[in-house]
C-alpha cells in the first residue's frame, strides 16, 4: 500500500507546485489531472481507502483549519454558521434522499437517505482551498470555513444512522436522535478535555520542536479517541484546535514560526493528495456500473445535482433575509447581507473527498448477506456531485465575484487596522522603555541603546504607514520613496551581503555548518520582520 500511495502523493505535490507557479487553481488542476490519468489504461487502478481519508487526511486538515480560524469571528457569526452547519445538511439529506429514492429504483429509502447524508456537507478542504484561491471576502470565508468545520459532524452522524438502517440494524428516529446528541456532546467533551491537556503540556515545554511534534500528533489521537467513545471525531478535533488557536498568540515566537511553516507544508501535501484522489476514482466508479442503464443514471444525476444546488440556494437566501424581517435584535447585531454576498455564499457549496470516502465506506452487503441496495449508483452519484460541484463552482466563482462587483481585496482595510494597532503598540513600547530607563542608573551605553530602540520603533510605525500608502488608490504613483521604504530596501541589500559573506566563510572552512545555520537564523528573523510590511 505504501508504494501505491507514494506515486500519487509525489504526483500531487508536483502538480500543485506547477499550478501554484502558474497562478492556477491547484484544486481544480489536480482534479482534472486525476480524471485524465484515471482514463489511461496503463495506469493501475487506485481505489480510495475510506480509513485513509477519515483517519489520516481529514484530522490534520481540520486541525489546521481550526488553528487558523478566529473564535471571535465564529462567535460573532454563530447563528448563520449553525444554520449552515446543522440545519442545511439535515435539509439536504432529506431533499436529496427523497429525489434519489424516486429516481433510482434500486435504492431503498434508508439507502437514499444515506446518499443524501453523504453529499450534504460542503467539504472543509474544498471550501477553504478554493475560497482562498478565488479571493472570497472575509465574512463569506468565515461563514464557509465555520460551516465546513462543523457540518461534517452533522452529516457523518446522520450517515451512520441511515447506513445502520440500510444494512438492517434495527433503529428508529428516537434512537437516531440519541445517537446524534451523544456524538455532538461526546465530540465537544473530548475536544475540550484534550484542548485543555495540550495547552497545559505545551505551556510547560520549552523546546519548539517538541511542541510542534505534539501538535502534529494531536489531531490523530483526538479523532481516534472521540470515535472510540462514539463521539464526533470531527467536532473533537475542531474544538481542540480552536482552543489551541486562541492560545497560539501566547506561544514562544520560535514555536509560532515553526508551526506555521510545518502546517502550511502539511496542508499543501494533504490537500493536494485529496484532490488528486478524487479524480483518480473514475475507473473504480465506472467499473461498478456494469448492467446499470445509462438513461437512469443520467436522469438521477441531473435530479440529484439540481436538488443539491436548489436546496442550498433556497436555504441560504431564506435564512439570510427572513430572520432579519422577524427579529429586531438580529437587525441590530448582525450586518445586513447584500444580495451579491448571499448569492456567492449559496454558490460556494463545493463537495470533496470526505463525501467520496463515505460513499466508498458503504458495505457491499447488508447484514442478511444481500447486496447493498443500489450501491454502484450511490457511489456514482456521489462522484458526479463531488466532481460537478468542484468544477462548476471552482471555475465560475472568480467570474461570478467579478461580475457581481463583490470586493475581494481586504488588504487596504487590514492595512488601516494594522497601522492603528502598530501605533498603539509603538506607544506602549516607548512608554515601557521610558519606565525602564527611569528605574535604572543612567549610562552612556543605556542611552545609546535607548536611542537605537526608539529609531527602530519609529521605523516600524513608518513601515505600517508605508504599506498603507502603497495600497491607497489615491496615492501618486510617482511619489518619492519614504524613509521607511529606503531603510527596508537598503537593509535587505546589506542582509544579502552578510549572508553571502557568512556562506563564503563556511565554504573556505573557517566556520562549520552548525555555526553558519545559527548565524543565518538571526539574519532570517530580521529579514522576516522586514518582509512583514
User: What does the pLDDT look like over 141-188, one tens digit per residue?
Assistant: 888 888 887 888 888 888 888 888 888 775 566 666 777 788 888 989
**pLDDT for the residue 475:** 44
**pLDDT for the residue 5:** 74
Q: Cα(232)–Cα(227) distance, rounded to whole angstroms? A: 6
Q: Cα(143)–Cα(321) distance, rounded to whole angstroms? A: 16
Q: What is the mean pLDDT of the chain?
A: 81
**pLDDT for the residue 422:** 61
Q: Cα(367)–Cα(167) distance, rounded to whole angstroms? A: 6
User: What does the pLDDT look like over 22-76, one tens digit per residue?
Assistant: 888 788 888 889 888 888 877 777 777 888 888 888 899 888 888 877 777 788 8
Whether the full predicted model's pTM is greater than 0.85, yes or no, is no
Q: What grid cell was written down for 156?
A: 457523518
What is the pLDDT confidence band of residue 130, given thresholds at 50, 70 and 90? low
DSSP symbols for 314-337: HHHHHHHHHHHHH-HHHHHHSPPP
Name the helix (H) or strand (E) containing 390. helix 375-404
User: What does the pLDDT look like over 275-331, one tens digit per residue?
Assistant: 888 888 888 788 778 777 888 889 999 999 999 999 999 999 999 888 888 888 888
- 381, 101 Cβ separation under 8 angstroms: no
- Percentage of the chain beyond pLDDT 70 is 83
Q: What grid cell was written down for 123?
A: 467539504
What is the pLDDT confidence band of residue 100, given thresholds at 50, 70 and 90? very high
Q: Cα(255)–Cα(40) distance, rounded to whole angstroms? A: 45
Please count the other Cβ atoms lying within 10 Å of the Cβ belonging to residue 289. Answer: 14
- 33, 271 Cβ separation under 8 angstroms: no
- Exposure pattern of 181-202 as b/e (b: 16+ CB <10 Å)? eebbebbbbbbebbbeebeeeb
More confident residue, 221 or 152: 221
Amino acid at each position: 500500500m505504501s508504494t501505491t500511495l507514494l506515486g500519487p502523493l509525489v504526483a500531487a505535490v508536483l502538480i500543485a507546485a506547477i499550478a501554484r507557479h502558474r497562478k492556477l487553481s491547484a484544486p481544480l488542476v489536480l482534479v482534472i489531472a486525476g480524471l485524465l490519468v484515471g482514463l489511461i489504461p496503463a495506469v493501475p487502478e487506485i481505489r480510495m481507502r475510506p480509513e485513509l481519508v477519515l483517519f489520516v487526511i481529514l484530522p490534520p486538515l481540520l486541525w489546521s483549519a481550526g488553528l487558523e480560524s478566529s473564535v471571535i469571528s465564529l462567535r460573532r457569526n454563530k447563528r448563520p454558521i449553525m444554520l449552515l452547519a446543522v440545519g442545511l445538511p439535515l435539509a439536504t439529506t432529506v431533499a436529496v434522499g427523497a429525489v434519489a429514492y424516486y429516481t433510482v429504483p434500486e435504492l431503498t429509502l434508508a439507502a437514499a437517505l444515506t446518499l443524501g447524508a453523504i453529499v450534504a456537507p460542503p467539504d472543509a478542504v474544498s471550501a477553504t482551498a478554493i475560497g482562498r484561491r478565488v479571493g472570497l471576502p472575509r465574512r463569506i470565508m468565515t461563514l464557509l470555513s465555520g460551516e465546513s468545520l462543523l457540518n461534517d459532524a452533522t452529516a457523518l452522524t446522520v450517515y451512520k444512522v441511515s447506513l445502520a438502517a440500510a444494512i438492517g440494524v434495527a433503529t428508529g428516529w428516537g434512537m437516531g436522535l440519541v445517537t446524534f446528541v451523544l456524538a455532538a456532546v461526546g465530540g465537544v467533551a473530548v475536544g475540550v478535555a484534550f484542548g485543555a491537556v495540550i495547552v497545559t503540556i505545551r505551556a510547560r515545554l520549552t523546546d519548539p520542536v517538541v511542541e510542534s511534534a505534539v501538535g502534529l500528533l494531536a489531531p490523530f489521537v483526538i479523532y481516534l479517541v472521540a470515535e472510540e467513545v462514539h463521539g464526533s471525531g470531527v467536532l473533537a478535533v475542531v474544538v481542540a484546535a480552536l482552543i489551541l488557536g486562541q492560545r497560539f498568540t501566547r506561544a514562544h515566537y520560535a514555536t509560532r514560526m515553526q508551526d506555521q511553516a510545518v502546517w502550511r507544508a502539511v496542508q499543501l501535501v494533504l490537500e493536494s493528495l485529496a484532490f488528486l484522489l478524487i479524480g483518480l476514482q473514475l475507473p473504480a466508479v465506472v467499473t461498478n456500473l456494469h448492467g446499470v442503464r445509462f438513461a437512469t443514471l443520467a436522469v438521477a444525476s441531473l435530479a440529484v445535482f439540481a436538488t443539491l444546488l436548489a436546496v442550498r440556494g433556497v436555504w441560504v437566501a431564506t435564512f439570510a433575509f427572513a430572520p432579519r424581517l422577524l427579529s429586531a435584535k438580529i437587525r441590530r447585531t448582525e450586518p445586513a447581507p447584500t444580495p451579491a454576498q448571499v448569492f456567492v455564499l449559496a454558490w460556494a457549496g463545493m463537495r470533496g473527498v470526505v463525501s467520496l470516502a463515505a460513499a466508498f465506506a458503504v458495505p457491499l452487503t447488508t447484514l442478511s448477506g444481500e447486496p447493498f441496495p443500489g450501491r454502484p449508483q450511490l457511489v456514482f452519484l456521489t462522484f458526479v456531485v463531488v466532481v460537478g460541484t468542484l468544477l462548476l463552482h471552482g471555475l465560475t466563482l472568480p467570474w461570478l465575484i467579478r461580475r457581481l462587483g463583490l470586493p475581494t481585496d481586504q488588504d487596504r482595510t487590514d492595512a488601516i487596522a494594522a497601522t492603528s494597532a502598530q501605533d498603539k503598540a509603538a506607544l506602549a513600547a516607548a512608554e515601557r522603555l521610558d519606565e525602564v530607563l527611569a528605574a535604572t542608573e543612567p549610562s552612556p551605553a543605556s542611552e545609546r541603546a535607548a536611542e537605537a530602540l526608539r529609531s527602530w520603533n519609529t521605523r516600524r510605525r513608518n513601515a505600517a504607514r508605508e504599506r498603507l500608502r502603497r495600497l491607497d488608490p489615491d496615492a501618486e504613483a510617482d511619489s518619492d520613496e519614504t524613509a521607511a521604504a529606503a531603510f527596508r530596501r537598503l537593509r535587505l541589500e546589506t542582509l544579502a551581503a552578510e549572508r553571502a559573506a557568512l556562506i563564503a566563510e563556511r565554504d573556505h572552512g573557517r566556520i562549520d555548518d552548525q555555526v553558519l545555520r545559527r548565524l543565518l537564523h538571526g539574519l532570517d528573523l530580521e529579514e522576516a520582520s522586514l518582509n512583514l510590511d
